[in-house]
Amino acid sequence: MDLAFTPEELAFREEIRAWVKANLPSEISQKVHSAMRLSRDDLQRWAKILGKKGWLGWGWPEEFGGPGWTAVQKHLFEEECALAGAPRVVPFGPVMVAPVIMAFGNAEQQKRFLPGIASGDVWWSQGYSEPGSGSDLASLKTRAERVGNKYIVNGQKTWTTLGQYGEWIFCLVRTSNEGKPQTGISFLLIDMKTPGITVRPIKLLDGECEVNEVWFDNVEVPAENLVGEENKGWNYAKHLLAHERTNIADVNRAKRELERLKRIAKTEGVYEDMRFRDEISKLEVDIVALEMLVLRVLSAEKSGKNSLDIAGLLKIKGSEIQQRYTELMMLAAGPFSLPFIFEAMDAGWQGDFPGHEVSNAPLAANYFNMRKTTIYGGSNEVQRNIVAQVVLG
Amino acid sequence: MDFDFSDDQEQLRDAVRKWVDKGYTFDRRREITHAGGFDRAAYTELAELGLCGLYVSEDQGGMGMGPVEGMVVMEELGRGIVLEPIQHAFIAGAVLEGYAPDALKAAWLPKIAGGEAIVVLAHQERKSRYNTHKCDAQAQQQDGQWLITGTKSMVAVGDHADAFLVPAMASGKLALFLVAKEAKGCTTSGYGTQDGGRAAELQLNQSPASLLTLDGQTALSHAVDIGIACACAEGVGVMDKTMAITVDYMNTRKQFNTTIATFQALRHRVADMKMQLELGRSMSYYASLKLNTPASERHQAMARAKYQLGNSMRYVGQQSVQLHGGIGVTDEYIVSHYFKKLTQLEMTFGDTLHHLGEVSASMQETAGVFA
């Protein structure tokens, strides 16, 4: 047992730190450190910088052009990026669909799709949830009918994150109504420029359009865009979820945001208020405990011993922490988090924010936005079902 | 970064677990409680396993092991809610090794390691609660002999101990002493504790004492921090077993024609208990792995860990009783004894609010496992 990273791991961390410092544009990191609005261009710019270095697919094995890092190295990379103020990489391409294409796609598909994901040139979206299928995802109804060498897709997806920018979308579609709902689902890659696709952004409670509805009206998809076998899509989607693991806890970002919370509390004069300070302390212990949990998972992956079946716990705690730090930031600013000035969340806004502290502008919006974290990716109640299944049988 | 146990550590765990399963049954424990809450024979059995000398160097007859081995032992003893206070042998071993003059080491360490002498930390006073720097006991030198006057409370197995580690004020500064039970003016009055164990009030009236160190604050903080790491590890063991008992019960007990393990309201509570257990286990690892770091880092880590464990132990304990229903509040059934142990552990070496205050007081700009 040893808490310290190895000298090699520490040297690796230094290498990443130096590279991120030299390559992360300060206009972007400043926005991240103050939670200002990030544009599509900001996200793409950072993705392409990583892509050029070969690190956008930082979890990829070498045979597909990735760096072939260990679980610990991946963690250190994510941590250095997060602490430096890099935006979260939009995960749908490099983190979500790519591993599925690697594991279940054919050589043709790998050659066709992986380079565009690795470089950051192609924006991918995810088509899973439907109006009638949230937690009960397997009940999805979007239908793909095989006609000759094409699928004809009809139906509706929703909550498609940043789908307004999407160029390709990976979808779970129903190809059979036989047997259990899970056994009639297929995994389809769809070009979003195909006629018959309509994307409509959904305005959320914070005023932003982060998610979309996507309609499919007789959309023709070449059969070669089917990943793996027909009706096996549910298994592939589960493989994808297994790939999340420690990433979903997002503990590195939480550490960065904890520092920001302390800065805000000092500015707002509540850092010395022991009642408020204690709330920060509770969050701090939560974050250290979550980090230890993440490190335990990484250690288990490294050694292959003591496998830890606790992905559900990481999701629950990670999401609760994300909600709590945004909540405390808002409470720290108190009434000065309440003015709703949409433009003030754009970096460089020249107006005078009430209370003269423009960094308070996004606090309430961030709090409202983070309510999603206990709902998406399998709601925390679904996660509790999964945890209980492991414990109780 | 590696959280696997070595083969030697696994063997140590197996040895202690075997003793707990075979040698420290619930029936034996109940008899010990009825007989007062401490059994010297059981303590001797622990010594025969080599556990009393875990922190004592091999030169002095011990095993020369460290915090991780201590954690493994405490987890296993926690599983069996063992009453005999082996953690005080760890504390005494580490404090004497680290701070005592050679003569004192030679006089006591071999006996501690062998189990012939029980030396316990006697630091709590009525007004000090969990603050190690508050101390009313006074030490004065007379003809080259230190004499201590004061009262210490909730001293573990006080009326069975052979000597006490006693902090007292010497010329306005906290110093740490060793007082043998035979010392003139030294009296104890023992009583049972809520967990079924034993403690005592220790009265010292001009009692002769051996000086351990004049830098008592450093030594006492270290002692308490070892106690915290031990309480965390013990709590993990107790919670582990509490969960197992509760899960068993839920899969057996039927209501509304089905096992109660099928009810979602209860299943979610079990998921939350599992969360608290794993956060607690993580922070117990953290505590033990930070035990050999510089004092300020160590102290901050112990406060964080004990805060987490306090919350975890309270949640797991309370919910285990609730999930059992009526049987959970009986003395006859085992789970209430686990609940009471978890409750007592929360108030051992600083409770949750105390440690929250410590976390707040030592807060820095950055925070994390490595900061």
Q: Find the CATH number of the domain harbouring A285.
A: 1.20.140.10
**A392·B267 Cβ contact <8 A:** yes
**Residue A31 counted as domain residue:** yes
Residues of B in CB contact (< 8 Å) with A are 1-6, 9, 68, 243, 247, 250-251, 261, 264, 267-268, 270-272, 274-275, 278-279, 282-283, 285-286, 288-290, 304, 307-308, 356-357, 359-360, 363, 365-370
Domain-ending residue, one of A230, A258, A276: A230
**Residue A106 counted as domain residue:** no
Of residues A381, A243, A393, the one with CA closest to residue A311: A243
Q: Are B371 and B286 in contact (CB under 8 A)?
A: no
* pLDDT exceeds 90 at position B356: yes
Residue A366 and residue A290 in one domain: yes
Mean pLDDT across chain A, nearest whole number? 95
* pLDDT exceeds 90 at position A244: no
Can you list the positions of beta strands (E) in chain B? 119-121, 138-142, 145-156, 163-170, 173-180, 186-192, 198-213, 254-255, 258-259
- Residue A27 confidence (pLDDT): 97
Residue A252 and residue A357 in one domain: yes
Token representation of residue A388: 């209980």
Residue A376 and residue A293 in one domain: yes
CB atoms within 10 A of CB B21: 12
Residue that the structure tokens 């791991």 belong to: A9
Contacts of A262 in chain B (CB under 8 A): 363, 365
Residue percentage of chain B with pLDDT more than 90: 99
Residue A219 and residue A271 in one domain: no
Calculate the CA A320 to chain-centre distance: 15
**Residue A131 counted as domain residue:** yes
Determine which of B1-5, B182-186, B263-267 has the lowest per-residue pLDDT on average: B1-5
* pLDDT exceeds 90 at position A148: yes
* pLDDT exceeds 80 at position B219: yes
What does the DSSP 8-state code read for residue B4?
Answer: P
Determine which of B34-43, B125-134, B198-207 has the lowest per-residue pLDDT on average: B125-134
Q: Find the CATH number of the domain harbouring A132.
A: 2.40.110.10
CA distance A148 to A223: 8
Band (pLDDT 50/70/90 cuts) for residue A238 is: confident
- Comparing CB atoms, the residue among B304, B360, B370 nearest residue A278 is B360
Counting one residue from chain A and one from chain B, the pairs whose CB atoms sit within 8 A come to: 144
Domain-ending residue, one of A177, A200, A230: A230
The pLDDT tens digits of the residues spanning B258-302 come to 999 999 999 999 999 999 999 999 999 999 999 999 999 999 999
Domain-ending residue, one of A70, A89, A108: A89
Of residues A128, A317, A259, the one with CA closest to residue B366: A259
Report the amino acid identity of residue B129: R
**B68·A287 Cβ contact <8 A:** no
**Residue A240 counted as domain residue:** no
Residue A225 and residue A322 in one domain: no
Residue A249 and residue A342 in one domain: yes
Band (pLDDT 50/70/90 cuts) for residue B371 is: confident
The pLDDT tens digits of the residues spanning B50-65 come to 999 999 999 999 999 9
Residue A78 and residue A49 in one domain: yes
**Residue A94 counted as domain residue:** no
Residue A197 and residue A275 in one domain: no
**B363·A281 Cβ contact <8 A:** yes
Token representation of residue B125: 């006073």
* pLDDT exceeds 80 at position A246: no
Residue A268 and residue A363 in one domain: yes
Residue A268 and residue A316 in one domain: yes
Residue A208 and residue A258 in one domain: no
Q: Are B65 and B224 in contact (CB under 8 A)?
A: no
Q: How far is B165 from chain A (nearest CA, A)?
A: 30
Q: Show the domains of chain B with their CATH numbers.
A: 7-114 (1.10.540.10), 119-214 (2.40.110.10), 219-361 (1.20.140.10)
Q: How far is B40 from chain A (nearest CA, A)?
A: 33
Mean pLDDT across chain B, nearest whole number? 97
Question: Which phi and psi (to 5°) does residue B215 adopt?
Answer: -90, 65
Q: How far is A282 from chain B (nearest CA, A)?
A: 7
Band (pLDDT 50/70/90 cuts) for residue A243 is: low
Host domain of residue A327: 245-392
Please, what is the Cα angle at A275 between A270 and A277, to 5 degrees? 60
Band (pLDDT 50/70/90 cuts) for residue B303 is: very high
ipTM of the shown complex:
0.97
**Residue A112 counted as domain residue:** no
Q: How far is B3 from chain A (nearest CA, A)?
A: 5
**Residue A137 counted as domain residue:** yes
Residue A320 and residue A215 in one domain: no
Question: Is some CB atom of chain B closer than 8 A to the CB atom of A107?
Answer: no
The pLDDT tens digits of the residues spanning A39-77 come to 999 999 999 999 999 999 999 999 999 999 999 999 999
* pLDDT exceeds 90 at position A309: no
* pLDDT exceeds 70 at position A245: no
Of residues B3, B13, B11, the one with CA closest to residue B237: B13
Band (pLDDT 50/70/90 cuts) for residue A240 is: confident
Total tally of structural domains belonging to chain A: 3
Which pairing describes strands B186-192 and B173-180: parallel, antiparallel, or unpaired? unpaired
What does the DSSP 8-state code read for residue A267?
Answer: H
**Residue A104 counted as domain residue:** no
